[in-house]
């Protein structure tokens, strides 16, 4: 590829990113407009965007919003990091060794069909009402998503690459490190993104049942007093935090899989 071709490709990439950002801004404006329209024309009891913004400043002013965000973020990050740190090696083990797959996969599939939310009552009864059961159910949600994605990534590695590496005299460790890990990385990162969504859904449900702080706890308290603006503030905060974390994983995906040719429509 010549220098001119590289420059043209760089320009097209930047234009594509700008177009994506522009579409995102337009989508955001349209969404807010539809929300505003629904509150003033429809027969719903939804609070208007301006009501939610005012309530957000009130909660931020007394520090309550930041306390809830910190509590939820702490639970999500601890549970998620614990889940993926254990899921990745187990997923590799299942994908690489048939014996490990036969012993572990049935249990993974068994727990995978049980919603983590169904574990919350059992976790609270057995572990108490402090942070342990909340972090445990988040860990379980992130673990199950990531371990399945890692396993699928390993078993879907093209055998041609592995056979070619063996022909060239590569050992199993070299093949695993230089072929299997890079080829399965896109699957792993998809599992991370799914795990993040599951972690946020789980922490909100856990905070609804037993918590003294957190965005889910705040929504439950607001429900008792029919405080819809506060509920919306918590929902928006969860959405923004989840979006930021998802974008960070997406950036990591772009960097770690930059060798992979990706098509766009």
For residue range 33-66, what is the model confidence (pLDDT) as tens digits? 888 887 877 656 788 888 889 999 999 999 899 9
> For residues 256 and 189, is the Cβ–Cβ distance under 8 A?
yes
Whether residues 14 and 58 fall in one domain: no
Prediction pTM value: 0.82
Maximum alpha-carbon separation in the chain: 72
Pick the more confident residue, 24 or 126.
Answer: 126
Question: What is the per-residue pLDDT for 2?
Answer: 60
- The answer as to whether 263 is a domain residue is no
Whether residues 105 and 225 fall in one domain: yes
SS3 169: coil
Whether residues 82 and 4 fall in one domain: no
| Rounded Cα–Cα distance for residues 87 and 66 (Å) | 31
| Rounded Cα–Cα distance for residues 50 and 179 (Å) | 53
- Number of other residues whose CB lies within 10 A of the CB of residue 250: 13
Query: Does the structure show a pLDDT above 70 at 3?
Result: no
- The answer as to whether 142 is a domain residue is yes
Whether residues 168 and 229 fall in one domain: yes
List of E strands, the chain: none
| Rounded Cα–Cα distance for residues 253 and 243 (Å) | 15
Where residue 115 falls among pLDDT bands split at 50, 70, 90? confident
Question: What is the per-residue pLDDT for 143?
Answer: 92
Whether residues 192 and 115 fall in one domain: yes
- The answer as to whether 262 is a domain residue is no
Question: What is the per-residue pLDDT for 10?
Answer: 61
Q: What is the mean pLDDT of residues 142-165?
A: 86
Q: What is the mean pLDDT of residues 159-167?
A: 81
Q: Return the H-helix or E-strand segment holding 44.
A: none
| Rounded Cα–Cα distance for residues 120 and 201 (Å) | 12
Task: Return the structure tokens found at 228.
Answer: 């819809």
| Exposure string over 127-142, b if 16+ CB within 10 A, otherwise e | eeeebebbbbbbbbbb
Whether residues 23 and 79 fall in one domain: no
Question: What is the per-residue pLDDT for 80?
Answer: 93
Q: The domain that contains 180 carries what CATH number?
A: 1.10.3720.10
Mean pLDDT of the chain: 83
- The answer as to whether 265 is a domain residue is no
Query: Does the structure show a pLDDT above 90 at 85?
Result: yes
| Rounded Cα–Cα distance for residues 224 and 86 (Å) | 39
Whether residues 38 and 56 fall in one domain: no
Whether residues 147 and 27 fall in one domain: no
Query: Does the structure show a pLDDT above 90 at 233?
Result: yes
Question: What is the per-residue pLDDT for 231?
Answer: 92
Where residue 210 falls among pLDDT bands split at 50, 70, 90? low
- The answer as to whether 130 is a domain residue is yes
Instruction: Tell me how many domains the chain contains.
Output: 2
Query: Does the structure show a pLDDT above 60 at 262?
Result: no
Question: What is the per-residue pLDDT for 171?
Answer: 79
Last residue of a domain, one of 46, 62, 77: 46
Question: What is the per-residue pLDDT for 260?
Answer: 64
> For residues 143 and 83, is the Cβ–Cβ distance under 8 A?
yes
> For residues 176 and 166, is the Cβ–Cβ distance under 8 A?
no
- The answer as to whether 264 is a domain residue is no
Whether residues 52 and 167 fall in one domain: yes
Query: Does the structure show a pLDDT above 70 at 14?
Result: no
The residue written with tokens 């909660």 in the block is: 59
| Rounded Cα–Cα distance for residues 202 and 139 (Å) | 9
Whether residues 137 and 28 fall in one domain: no
Pick the more confident residue, 8 or 114.
Answer: 114
Q: Return phi, psi of residue 152, to 5°.
A: -65, -35
Whether residues 210 and 159 fall in one domain: yes
Question: What is the per-residue pLDDT for 234?
Answer: 92
Whether residues 7 and 67 fall in one domain: no
Give me the domain span that covers residue 173: 48-256
């Amino acid at each position: 590829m010549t220098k001119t071709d590289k420059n043209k490709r760089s320009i097209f990439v930047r234009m594509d990113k700008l177009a994506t950002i522009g579409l995102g801004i337009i989508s955001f404006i349209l969404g807010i407009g539809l929300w505003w329209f629904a509150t003033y024309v429809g027969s719903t009891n939804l609070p208007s965007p301006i009501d939610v913004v005012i309530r957000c400043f009130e909660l931020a002013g007394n520090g309550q919003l930041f306390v809830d965000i910190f509590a939820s973020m702490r639970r999500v990050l601890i549970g998620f990091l614990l889940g993926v740190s254990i899921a990745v090696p187990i997923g590799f083990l299942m994908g690489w060794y048939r014996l490990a797959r036969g012993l572990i996969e049935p249990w993974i599939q068994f727990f995978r069909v049980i919603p983590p939310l169904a574990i919350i009552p059992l976790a609270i009864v057995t572990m108490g009402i402090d942070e342990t059961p909340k972090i445990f159910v988040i860990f379980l949600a992130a673990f199950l998503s990531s371990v399945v994605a890692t396993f699928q990534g390993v078993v879907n590695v093209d055998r041609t690459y592995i056979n070619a590496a063996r022909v060239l005299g590569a050992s199993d460790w070299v093949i695993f490190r230089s072929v299997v890990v890079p080829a399965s990385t896109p699957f792993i990162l998809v599992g991370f993104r799914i795990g993040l969504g599951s972690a946020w859904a789980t922490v909100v449900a856990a905070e609804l049942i037993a918590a003294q702080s957190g965005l889910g706890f705040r929504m439950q308290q607001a429900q008792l007093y029919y405080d819809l603006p506060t509920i919306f503030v918590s929902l928006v905060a969860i959405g923004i935090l989840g979006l930021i974390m998802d974008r960070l994983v997406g950036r990591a995906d772009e960097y770690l899989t930059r060798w992979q040719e990706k098509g766009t429509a």
